[in-house]
A and B are shown apart, each in its own frame.
Chain A
Amino acid sequence: MLKIDGVSRSFGSVTALDDVSLQIEQGEFFALLGPSGCGKTTLLRIIAGFETPDSGRVSLDGEDLLSKAPNRRPISLMFQSYALFPHMTVAKNVAYGLERERLPRQEIKQRVGEVLETVGLSAHAGRKPAQLSGGQRQRVALARSIVKRPRLLLLDEPLSALDKKVRADMQLELKRLQHEVGITFVVVTHDQEEAMSLADRIAVFDTGQVRQVDAPVTLYERPSTPFVADFVGANNLFRGLATGLDALRSEDFGMLAGTPLEELAADTPALLAVRPERIELADENAVRGMAGTVVDVSFYGGVSHVSVDVPGHPKPVLAAVQGAGTVKPGAEVKVRWNAEDAVIMADPQ
C-alpha cells in the first residue's frame, strides 16, 4: 500500500502540492487526473525520488520512501518521453535495470526474453530506439519498467505521445499487463477518458489539491465538488441556493429538481449538475421544463448533441440524444430531467 500523508511542495511562490493525502492499495490501477500545472507530475516525481517535498510523508507498505535515494526505491517510472537510452539496443535497455541488481547473466537473459515476449517485441530485441515506431518505443519503456518487478509502477502520461489508433490498443494492453503482473499502477494524465477507461480509482487534482477520489463511474455520476463536475465529462451546471429538499432554488428558473449529495442547510450557495444524456427534450407545450430554442444539432455517429439556448442561462444547455436527432435548429423545446439524475453540491464560491 502506498501512503501519501500531508505532502506539500512549493516552487518559489507557486504551490504545486498543498497538503495532499492519498492511499493507494496493493494491485490497484490508480490515476492522478488534472489539468496541466495541477501538481500531479510533482507528486509523481516525489514518489520516484526526483523531488523532495517541503513537508509530509510517503511510505510504501509501511516503509518510509523519502529517506531513500531514487535508485534504491522499489518503484519504476515510465517517462512521458520514454527516456530510452539511444545508444543501447532494445534488449540492452530492458536489461539495464536487472544488470544494476547484479543478477546472473543467464537470469537477465531469460527475464528480458520473457518480458519482450509479453510486450510483443521479441523480433526487435537487437534494434536501437531510433529504429522503432512510437508505439514500439512505448512498449520498450513499459518492458524496461516492469522487468524489475517493482512493487509500484508510475506512468507519466503514458499514451499522450501516441496517435489515436495506437492509443486504443495500448490502453487495452496496459490493462491486460496490469492484470497479469499484479503490480500497483499509478498513472498521471490530463486526459479524463484515459483515466476513466484505465483506472480502478481516480484522484482529481486542481491547483495542488485533491478534489475527489472515487471510482470512475461514481466520479462521473456523483461529482462532489464544482471543479470535478465541470472538469470530468460534459455537464450542465446551474447555480443557486440549497433548499433542504431535493431541489435547487435558482434566481432565473425557480426550483430545479436534483439530489443533494450531502445534507445542505437551506439557503447555502449550491451547484446543480446534470449530464447531457440525462436531459430529456420535450415539446414546447409540455407542462414541466425550461423553455428554449435549439441552436445547433451535431451528429456524432451513435449520439447527437443538441444545444438549446435557454434565456437567462449563460451557456446553451447540452442534451445528448440517441442516433440522429429529430429536432432541427430553430425549434422551440423544453428541457427537463428527473431529480435522481441531477446532483446538488455545495458551491463554496
Chain B
Amino acid sequence: MKSEAKARPAPRVRGRRLGAFVFLSPGLTYLVVLLLVPLGLVLSYTVFQRGRFGGVVYEFTTENFTRLIDPLYLGVVGNSLRIAALTTLIALLIGYPTAYLIAQLPSRWKTLALVAVVLPFWTNFIIRVYAWIMLLSGPGLVNSALGKLGLGPYELLYHEGTIVTGLLYSYLPLMVLPLYSAIERLDPQLREASANLGASAFTTFRKVTLPLSVPGVLTGCLFVFVPSFGNFVIPEMLGGSKSTMVGNLIRDQFLKARDWPFGSTLALALIAVLVALLIVQAWAARRA
C-alpha cells in the first residue's frame, strides 16, 4: 500500500516530462537550427570583414557600422521610412472609411465585402505588381486613356509615387481587416447614446468611434508598415533604379556586391527600426 501511494505521482510527472519532450522538441529544434542560429550568424557578421569573393573573413572590424552612418546609406533608410510611412498613412485614410462602412452593412453583405477585400491578397504577389506595370507603363492603359483626352503620355512608372501605389495595393487588406474587427466590436448603443446627448454624426465619430478604435488603427498601421519598410521587390519593379529602399540595398549586398557583413549590418538596422516601432506601438496601445 505504502509504496503504491508513494509511486503514484511519479508516472504523472514522468508523463508530463515525456509529453513536453515529445511535443516541444521537434519544433523547437527546427526553430533553433533554422531561425536562431541563422539570426545569430547574421548578427555576428556585422563585426567581421567581407571576403574577397563573398562570405566573411573572421577578423573584427567596426567598419560596417561606420559605413552605415554614411549619409548615403542613412538617406536610404530615411527614404524607406518615408515611403513606408506615406503608404501606411494613405492606407489608413482610405482603409478606415471602408472598414467603417463594412462594419455597418447588413450581415449578408458584410461577409461578401470582407472576402472581397481579402481576395486579391491571396493572388500571386509578383502578378499583383505586374498588373501595375501594365497599367502605368509608357504605352499602358492609363496613358492611352489620357491620350484620348489629348494628354500625355507621362512617365508614370519609376516614381516614388509608383512604389507607394504598389505597396498600397499589396498591403491595403492588412489595414482594413484589423480596423474592421475593432469597429465592428463597438456597441452600436454607444453611438446612439452620443446622438441622444446632442452630438452630430461627425462629433460622435470624433469623440466616440475613433478613440475606441485606436487599437485597430495601431495594429493596421503596423501590419502595413512592416512589410512596406523591408520591401525590395516593389521598389525594384516599380521604382526603377532611381529610388532605392533598405530592402534593395540588403539584397544587393547579398546577391550582387557579395558584401555579407555590410548586408547583415543593414539588416540589423532594419530590425532595429521595426523593434523600436513595435515598442512605440505597444506603448500607444496600452495608453489607448
Contacts and interface: CB of A to CB of B under 8 A. Distances in A.
Q: Do chains A and B make direct contact within the complex (CB under 8 angstroms)?
A: yes
Interface of A: 48-50, 69-72, 75-77, 79, 81, 83-87, 96-97, 100-101, 144, 148
A81 B187 contact: yes
Interface string B94-121: 0000000000000000000000000000
A68 B288 CA distance: 35
Contacts of A86: 212
B197 interface: yes
A96 B196 contact: no
A144 B197 CA distance: 8
Interface stretch (B75-83, B157-165, B200-208, B219-227): B200-208
B71 interface: no
Contacts, number: 58
A49 B196 CA distance: 8
Interface string B140-181: 000000000000000000000000000000000000000000
Given A83-B187, A83-B189, A85-B190, A75 B196 contact: yes
Contacts of B203: 100
B211 A87 contact: yes
A87 B212 contact: yes
B72 to A, nearest CB: 45
Nearest to B200: A71
Nearest to A102: B198
Given A81-B187, A83-B190, A85-B208, A101 B198 contact: yes
Nearest to A45: B192
Interface residues of B, number: 18
A176 to B, nearest CB: 23
21 contacts: A49-B195, A49-B196, A70-B195, A70-B196, A76-B196, A79-B192, A79-B193, A83-B187, A83-B189, A84-B193, A85-B190, A85-B193, A86-B212, A96-B194, A96-B197, A97-B197, A97-B198, A100-B197, A100-B199, A144-B197, A148-B198
A49 B212 CA distance: 24
Contact of B198 (A71, A84, A87): A71
A149 to B, nearest CB: 12
B213 to A, nearest CB: 10
Contacts of A100: 197-199, 203
Contact of A77 (B190, B193, B199, B207): B193
A83 B200 contact: no
Contacts of B197: 71, 76, 96-97, 100, 144, 148
B180 to A, nearest CB: 20
Contacts of B196: 48-49, 70-71, 75-77
